[in-house]
Amino acid sequence: MCECLAPVRRIHVRMPGTRTPDTCPNAWHPYAGHMSECLAPGRRKHVRLPGTRTPETCPRAWHPTLFLPTSAPTSTIILDLSDTSHRIIDRPRAERIFMTRPKSNAPPSPDASASRPASTIDLDILRGWSEARDPALASPHALSALATLRQLDPNQTAIASYPIFGPAILLGRFHSQHSPIDLLLDNLQDHQTYRLGSPHAHLELLPTGQWVIQALAPQSPTLLNGEPIDTLATARELRHGDRITLGVTTFVFEPHDTTLEDHQLELDRLLASSNAPALFLMRSGAPCGPYLTLDPQHPITLGRSYPPAGTLPNSQHWPARPEHFWDLSGLPDVERKFVAFHHARLFFKNQRWHIEPLSSRQRTYINRIPINAPTALEPGDEIGLSSALFHLQHPSARAIPRRNITPPRPVNWSEGRPPAEDPDR
């Protein structure tokens, strides 16, 4: 905060929670809680609060900003605080009041406000740099859906749909301490998300064509048509129109006419689209289309784009982007936000592909098992980069949808005794 918010060159900077005498003429006082009150560089005649607006005619107003370059170029995008439409305008440097990062050298179009919703926040402006997003990573699924979960609001109106593309999936919310989830329920409000398990339930399409559900979250309820499902009990059959309640959110289950045989044929055609070893992106339980061809001569790094060294303050020590890099910034935010900038590296050694985790904060998984060191891979293995899943396909191996899912057995600490003393474990 100190580097990006200081409006002038700093002689003395105090940290939040410390005090500096008012007689210090060169002190700049950052404060995270009340930015406008404590960041004014001089004696304040008028200070606006965050989220409010002050007319530009006010000669004593000081307008704090999230990113103020120390040396802005000639043409800089600014926000007019007195303009309720968030119109982007261009003014001489001396008249700039609220500056953000450089956008382009061309003057903004006169109808910029018409093409930019007033309620939309451009995160690229706030960050000071732009991610390179591949739209193919968020493209529609290449396979036909096997079923759909429709989320209901309190008025029993469908407000969101979650297609299911795999014959066996785990659904719920992702937690960094647990294994990845196939179907991430990302359209929920906070109080709904917090009542979901990680994972919450296991849905499976049996060879007979019957869908079943098994509850996995001991601390959060799972209901089928209003009746509770015991955790890890025998799977219950699902029929068209059944209502499934996960925590406090209700869904309607709708199976489709696609059979397992049709699903396998579509999957074979999709995975055969690469004549070389490839890493296919998975979503909702099955490979969804985008893939990366693997070259044994070139190790590949998986991660997200980040600005070059020196673009942001104190970033001179940042490493250069690897020559062979799969940029996953284009993933939907529910998958992308847990992927590290340098998450994992794939390399070929001793006639086998290996994966090496590179991030100390975000986990790497093989078939839902976290790894901490370089590990050999087999064709058909499932690789997890936090909440993003990938399928390793080799042209010499039969196209398999995934390794069999073994739902984890969660510990119910309400039983009153540790697992080591439980004779049934």
Cβ neighbour number for residue 224 with a 10 Å cutoff: 19
Lookup: tokens for 65: 């900003």
Element (H, E) at 335: helix 333-336
| pLDDT given at position 112 | 40
Instruction: Tell me the C-alpha distance between 347 and 356, whole Å.
Output: 8
Element (H, E) at 260: helix 260-271
Highest mean pLDDT (candidates 48-57, 64-73, 85-94, 184-193): 184-193
Query: Average of pLDDT values for 101-115?
Result: 40
Q: Which residue has the higher pLDDT, 28 or 231?
A: 231
182 in Cβ contact with 192 (< 8 Å)? no
By three-state DSSP, how is residue 262 classified? helix
pLDDT at residue 92 is higher than 50: no
Return the CATH number of 260-393, one of 2.40.30.10, 2.60.200.20, 2.60.40.3880, 3.40.50.700.
2.60.200.20
Using alpha carbons, list the distances in angstroms from residue 301 to 179, 211, 395: 21, 38, 22
User: Left if phi > 0, otherwise alpha if psi is -120 to 50, otherwise beta: which for 172?
Assistant: left
87 in Cβ contact with 110 (< 8 Å)? no
| pLDDT given at position 230 | 85
In the chain the first and final C-alpha atoms are separated, in Å, by 50
Instruction: Tell me the C-alpha distance between 348 and 414, whole Å.
Output: 47
Contacts with 28 (C-beta within 8 Å, 6 or more apart), sequence order: 2, 6, 7, 8, 10, 12, 13, 14, 39, 41
Extract the runs of DSSP E, i.e. beta strands, from 173-277: 183-184, 201-205, 211-215, 222-224, 227-228, 236-238, 243-246, 249-255
- Four-point Cα dihedral 329, 331, 337, 339, nearest 10: -70
Query: Average of pLDDT values for 354-370?
Result: 93
Residues in a beta bridge with 170: 202
277 in Cβ contact with 393 (< 8 Å)? yes
Q: Which residue has the higher pLDDT, 287 or 9?
A: 287
pLDDT at residue 377 is higher than 90: yes
| pLDDT interval class at 32 (50, 70, 90) | very low
Question: In the chain, what percentage of residues exceed pLDDT 70?
Answer: 63
251 in Cβ contact with 151 (< 8 Å)? yes
Burial class (CB in 10 A: 0-12, 13-18, 19+), 143: buried
Burial class (CB in 10 A: 0-12, 13-18, 19+), 281: buried
Highest mean pLDDT (candidates 10-24, 88-102, 142-156, 389-403): 142-156
Instruction: Tell me the C-alpha distance between 229 and 221, whole Å.
Output: 8
| pLDDT given at position 305 | 86
| pLDDT given at position 17 | 57
pLDDT at residue 336 is higher than 60: yes
Instruction: Tell me the C-alpha distance between 87 and 55, whole Å.
Output: 15
pLDDT tens for 153-197 read 999 999 999 999 999 999 999 887 788 999 999 889 989 998 998
| pLDDT given at position 321 | 85
Lookup: tokens for 422: 């439980």
pLDDT tens for 1-22 read 233 334 444 445 555 556 656 6
Q: Which residue has the higher pLDDT, 56 or 357?
A: 357
97 in Cβ contact with 65 (< 8 Å)? no
| pLDDT given at position 171 | 92
| pLDDT given at position 8 | 46
| pLDDT given at position 410 | 52
β-strand pairing of 236-238 with 278-283: unpaired
Q: Which residue has the higher pLDDT, 18 or 403?
A: 18
Contacts with 153 (C-beta within 8 Å, 6 or more apart), sequence order: 159
| pLDDT given at position 19 | 61
- Residue 44, φ and ψ in degrees, nearest 5: -90, 125
pLDDT at residue 265 is higher than 90: yes
Highest mean pLDDT (candidates 46-50, 139-143, 232-236): 139-143
| pLDDT given at position 15 | 55
**Of the candidates 284, 331, 288, 286, which has an alpha carbon nearest to the alpha carbon of residue 162?**
284
Instruction: Tell me the C-alpha distance between 118 and 261, whole Å.
Output: 49
Query: Average of pLDDT values for 216-234?
Result: 87
Query: Average of pLDDT values for 273-286?
Result: 94
Side-chain half-sphere CA neighbours of 77 within 13 A:
19
β-strand pairing of 183-184 with 168-172: parallel
| Domain 147-255 classification at class level | mainly beta
Q: Indicate the length of the chain as a whole number.
A: 425
| pLDDT given at position 132 | 79
Residue ranges of the chain that CATH labels 2.60.200.20: 147-255, 260-393
98 in Cβ contact with 83 (< 8 Å)? no
355 in Cβ contact with 345 (< 8 Å)? yes
Contacts with 414 (C-beta within 8 Å, 6 or more apart), sequence order: 218, 219
